[in-house]
Amino acid sequence: MSKAIVYSFYSVPENPENSPTFVMLQYSLETLRNHNPDILVLLYVYNTKERDVYHKTFGHINNLEIKFKTYTPPENLSKIHMLMMEHKWASVFDALEKYQAVLFTDCDTVFFDDPDLLFIKYNDPTKVYTRGSLLGGDFLKFFKIKNLVMNDGQFLIRDYFLKDKQTFLDARINYMLDKIKELNKMEVDEKEYENIYSWINWSGSQYGITLLLHNINAFQEFAAEDVSLFTDLVSINDKEDLVLLHYFNYNIHHVLPKKYLNKISKKVREDVKKVQEEWVWDV
């Protein structure tokens, strides 16, 4: 079976090597190679003029291909259709044109074991494997999802779905457009409007594609002992036999070694600490 790990990266305009996501990507790749030195890695980079930086930082990594891409969002979604979401699925389907199975991972993921274990264990080609979560509060009120919602920071998909490429991409866009129409009919103040609007872009994958997967009976969870989200754990030491952890970018203090953490600006580190105060774990 031909397979690949896919990372998809949107360009940071200036000094990408100092951005948190760039640093997290370096650590994620290091942990991957610690457990599997050979599996193909496809690194998609969109809309960047900093190609030399990517070659310098990642060019030495064994069996890693950097694919520079250009993407322009549709005009009718120019305000919310940010590249930081759409590029994931564009990259995955591009990879599936050549490879039978793709494990997509965000930059804020850590490998604790060989990802080949996931390709072997989660082998139903008619399923998209992900981690799910039940969301309540304002999310539930507006987005109205009753089933588990996918977290698209890590998912495994096979070329069985290549025929459905446009269906997946349309599911994101159509869901966002429908939610904009709903929002425009609501009587909310400007601040609340902008708050909900800012989440609609994110909702395209997390909710739009989730609905599609449930409708076609393709939603399947990774077992928590194999793939977990940061919120599943009591502490970072509670990883047991995990293969993959998605820790979310505001939890860098819990996960990144000092040599990587120190590459991130002091301001960013202080900002994420404020977010972390809402969590039980000590920083």
Q: Give 128-148 pLDDT, tens digit per residue.
A: 999 987 665 555 567 777 778
Quote the pTM value. 0.90
CA distance 172 to 150: 13
Please write the tens of the pLDDT for every residue from 186-225: 888 888 888 788 777 777 777 889 999 999 999 999 998 8
Please write the tens of the pLDDT for every residue from 3-53: 999 999 876 656 666 788 889 999 999 999 999 999 999 999 988 888 898
Bridge-based pairing state of the strands 244-246 and 41-46: unpaired
Question: Where is pLDDT greater, at 246 or 268?
Answer: 246
Domain spans in the chain, listed from the N-terminal domain onward: 3-162+220-276
Burial 72-91 (b: 16+ CB within 10 A, else e): eeeeebeebbbbebbbbbbb
Q: At what angle do helices 83-96 and 165-185 cross, to 10 degrees?
A: 160
Of 97, 47, 105, which is closest to residue 73 (Cα–Cα)? 47
CATH match of 3-162+220-276 with 3.90.550.10 = yes
**Residue 281 — pLDDT band, cuts 50, 70, 90?**
very low
Q: Rounded to the nearest 5°, which phi and psi values hold at 219?
A: -75, 125
